[in-house]
């Protein structure tokens, strides 16, 4: 009986210690969630403004559509940029991305570029014939943003050389603090759903330099902002997923502690009852 009490007491102490860790991680994830949410709102405003400029330029390029707005012909393979996390303990965040990518990826034609240590570890360990491009493996928000924009320029150059039919980012789209889902964003060719102001029909804006020259001049900046925004949104979704996971872990710990406490109290009461019975029986025998 005493051994059972000791075992239950140790389990209670273990669960309590684990709860302290998960509670601390939940608090840290909550703080990071707020910080990344503010950052995502800021970068989204910048991205929308740049999208509007690019959309206007593509619309006014009447001579001939820029090759950046069309898929490369006679090229089959697509470059997929998979954005995963560097850390674990974020529930099914990475697993959902793996399942989503596997549903759209063709190992015989497509190329995979991995961003995030968890994705690199998963696909390096997993057997398969995927062609993996390591040019983007070191991308992270903690690095100098100029390197992210340099990577975007590399992406543009590869597309210009017709190495890939198109370039698609696979990331986790943030819906709200409780909902986030795998999604794709086509980086190249440029796909912007732009509707011009009706007032511009009779007085269109003037471009200097010409729209096509402007497209070539700022495309690297546009792609860099898109890639940076996707990295921020993925980090935001990761922190939201981690906070939710830690909250669930705390709830489970509370439930388990309640059951263990009841079990401990029952065992202790049974031990006390047994001791009293032995004392009474000994007194009666004497």
Pick 27-198+205-246's CATH classification: 3.30.70.120, 3.40.50.2300, 3.40.1380.10, 2.40.30.10: 3.40.1380.10
Residue 133 has pLDDT above 70, yes or no: yes
CA dist., res. 16 & res. 199, Å (int): 65
Residues 6+ apart with CB under 8 A from 85: 93, 94, 116, 117, 118, 234, 238
Domain ranges of the chain: 2-20+247-285, 27-198+205-246
| Domain covering 2-20+247-285: architecture | Orthogonal Bundle (1.10)
Beta strands in the chain (DSSP E): 78-83, 111-115, 131-133, 166-176, 179-188
* Assessment of whether the complete model's pTM goes beyond 0.75: yes
CA dist., res. 106 & res. 11, Å (int): 48
How do residues 215-270 score in pLDDT, each as one tens digit? 888 888 999 999 999 999 999 999 999 999 999 999 999 999 999 988 888 888 88
At residue 58, what are phi and psi to the nearest 5 degrees?
A: -65, -35
CA dist., res. 143 & res. 128, Å (int): 31
* 131-133 and 111-115 strand pairing: parallel
Residue 1 has pLDDT above 60, yes or no: no
């Amino acid at each position: 009986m005493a051994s059972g009490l000791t075992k239950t007491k140790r389990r209670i102490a273990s669960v309590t210690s684990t709860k302290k860790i998960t509670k601390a991680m939940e608090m840290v994830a909550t703080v990071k969630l707020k910080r990344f949410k503010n950052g995502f709102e800021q970068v989204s405003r910048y991205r929308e403004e740049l999208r509007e400029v690019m959309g206007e330029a593509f619309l006014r390029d009447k001579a001939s559509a820029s090759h950046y707005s069309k898929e490369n012909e006679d090229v089959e393979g697509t470059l997929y940029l998979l954005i995963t996390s560097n850390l674990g303990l974020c529930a099914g965040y990475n697993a959902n991305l793996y399942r989503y990518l596997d549903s759209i990826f063709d190992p015989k034609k497509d190329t995979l570029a991995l961003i995030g240590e968890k994705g690199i570890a998963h696909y390096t360990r997993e057997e398969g014939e995927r062609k993996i491009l390591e040019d983007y493996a070191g991308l992270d928000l903690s690095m100098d943003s100029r390197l992210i924009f340099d990577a975007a320029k590399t992406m543009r150059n590869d597309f210009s050389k017709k190495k890939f039919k198109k370039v698609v980012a696979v990331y986790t789209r943030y819906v709200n603090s409780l909902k986030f889902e795998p999604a794709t964003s086509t980086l190249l060719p440029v796909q912007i759903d732009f509707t011009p102001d009706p007032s511009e029909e009779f007085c269109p804006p003037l471009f200097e330099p010409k729209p096509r020259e402007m497209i070539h001049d700022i495309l690297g900046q546009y792609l860099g902002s898109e890639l940076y925004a996707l990295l921020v949104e993925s980090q935001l979704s990761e922190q939201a997923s981690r906070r939710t996971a830690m909250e669930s872990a705390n709830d489970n710990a509370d439930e388990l502690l309640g059951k263990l406490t009841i079990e401990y109290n029952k065992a202790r009461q049974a031990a006390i009852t047994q001791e009293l019975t032995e004392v009474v029986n000994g007194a009666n025998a004497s």
